[in-house]
Chains A and B, each alone.
Chain A
Amino acid sequence: MTLDISADADLPEFLGGAAADSQRVRRPTSPTGEGRTPGEPGLWVFILGDMSLFGAFFVVALWQRRAAPAQFEVSAQELMRSTGLINTAVLLLSSYLVVSALWAHRRGGMRRATLSLVGALACGLVFAALKVAEYLHVLGSGRTPATDMFYTFYFVLTGVHLLHVLIGVVLLAAWMGVLRNGRAVTRYVEGSAVYWHMVDLLWVVIFTLLYLVCAA
């Protein structure tokens, strides 16, 4: 049996495969009627599963806080809250830029969409850089995941989230490839946007719980 590696059509579009016209999608319709799923329907299984996993972590973190609220408060107050706030604003801005990019892409505004995506990517990288700076600060002050329960949650939640940010950056970069090829909005493009918004959505909760609620 031979393996036909020339069949680009089998590859996803962002890896150079042929654009599947059947996957081209229209703008969403009104809230009435059947509605349409943005991105691949299967992607939503992953998105909702991921959100539920994070949700379980949030519940466990606040539950553990009840056992040692004073310790959580002291540890949470050591975090650089202003960095967390800036990162929240940066991710919210990136989400808005991704919305703008999809809006422009659907109207054929490839240049406008590309510019918006460049902005969103830059926001993603700024977020990652600030997070690394924060890690260096926290680790430099002698705090590790083993310091106490708060720092265990801090490193696990922000670490897994940072991994999501980096995956999102790759997805957005691949979307730029779709734009460069002058292709219309596909389910892959919509899925990338949905994924990026999930990254934003999870961060606003992580920021509020770890940096504000635990510290109060």
Chain B
Amino acid sequence: MTRGIPVRATAVWMLLMAATALTWWLGADHGADLGGGRTWVALAIPVVFLKVYLIGSEFMEVRTAPRALRLVFGAWVMVLTAVLTTIYLL
């Protein structure tokens, strides 16, 4: 049986779980409790797209893909982060 673990992917996975806890915390009223109200809740959007970027670049192996694929994927993440955060805060 193969020994060891995929170290980098394991670290990324732990980061993803931590980010999930953070978005949960921001979304579950604490964000509003911090006094910033909607601004803190809106922070959940960039945080979730950071997770999306990690899943894409690390798990889907976009990080080692040709430049065109890296650019298109990165653009998808950045455009949606900007558009969704803006619409929420408008």
Q: Is A62's CB under 8 angstroms from B13's CB?
A: no
Taking the complex as formed, is A140 at the interface, i.e. its CB lies under 8 A from any CB of chain B? no
Which chain B residues (1-35) contact chain A, with CB distance < 8 Å?
A: 1-2, 5-6, 9-10, 13, 16-17, 20, 23-24, 26-29, 31-32
Q: A109 to chain B: which residues have CB within 8 Å?
A: 1-2
Q: Is B87's CB under 8 angstroms from A59's CB?
A: yes
Q: Is B65's CB under 8 angstroms from A63's CB?
A: no
Q: Is B60's CB under 8 angstroms from A216's CB?
A: no
Q: Is A35's CB under 8 angstroms from B64's CB?
A: yes
B3 to chain A, nearest CB (A): 9
Q: Is A198's CB under 8 angstroms from B60's CB?
A: yes
Q: Is B64's CB under 8 angstroms from A51's CB?
A: no
Output the nearest chain B residue to A196 by Cβ-Cβ distance: B59
Q: A142 to chain B: which residues have CB within 8 Å?
A: none
B56 to chain A, nearest CB (A): 6
Task: Give the complex CA separation of A155 and B65 in angstroms.
Answer: 34
Q: Pick the contact of B28 from A55, A204, A212 — CB < 8 Å?
A: A212
Q: Which of A4-12, A87-95, A129-137, A163-171 contacts B (4 or more CB under 8 A)?
A: A87-95
Taking the complex as formed, is A172 at the interface, i.e. its CB lies under 8 A from any CB of chain B? no
Q: Pick the contact of B17 from A59, A92, A103, A197 — CB < 8 Å?
A: A92
Task: Give the complex CA separation of A66 and B42 in angstroms.
Answer: 14
Q: B72 to chain A: which residues have CB within 8 Å?
A: 48
Task: Give the complex CA separation of A109 and B61 in angstroms.
Answer: 20
Task: Give the complex CA separation of A208 and B20 in angstroms.
Answer: 9
Assuming the contacts A36-B65, A48-B73, asked whether A59 and B83 have C-beta atoms less than 8 A apart, the reply is: yes
Q: Which of A16-24, A25-33, A177-185 contacts B (4 or more CB under 8 A)?
A: A25-33
Q: Is B52's CB under 8 angstroms from A59's CB?
A: no
Q: Is A34's CB under 8 angstroms from B13's CB?
A: no
Which of A109, A198, A201, A209 has most chain B Cβ within 10 Å? A201
Q: Is A212's CB under 8 angstroms from B66's CB?
A: no
Task: Give the complex CA separation of A194 and B64 in angstroms.
Answer: 13
Q: Pick the contact of B64 from A36, A59, A98 — CB < 8 Å?
A: A36
Q: A215 to chain B: which residues have CB within 8 Å?
A: 27
Task: Give the complex CA separation of A75 and B50 in angstroms.
Answer: 27
5 A-B pairs with the lowest CB-CB distances in the bound complex, closest first? A212-B27, A109-B2, A28-B64, A216-B41, A208-B48
Q: List 16 A-B contacts (CB under 8 A).
A: A31-B63, A55-B76, A59-B80, A62-B87, A66-B90, A92-B20, A100-B9, A103-B9, A108-B2, A111-B1, A190-B61, A193-B60, A201-B56, A208-B47, A212-B44, A216-B41
Instruction: Beyond the given A55-B76, A81-B28, A95-B59, please list 14 additional residue pairs across the A-B interface where CB-CB is below 8 A.
Output: A35-B66, A35-B69, A37-B66, A38-B61, A62-B87, A96-B9, A98-B59, A99-B9, A197-B60, A205-B48, A208-B48, A212-B26, A213-B27, A213-B42
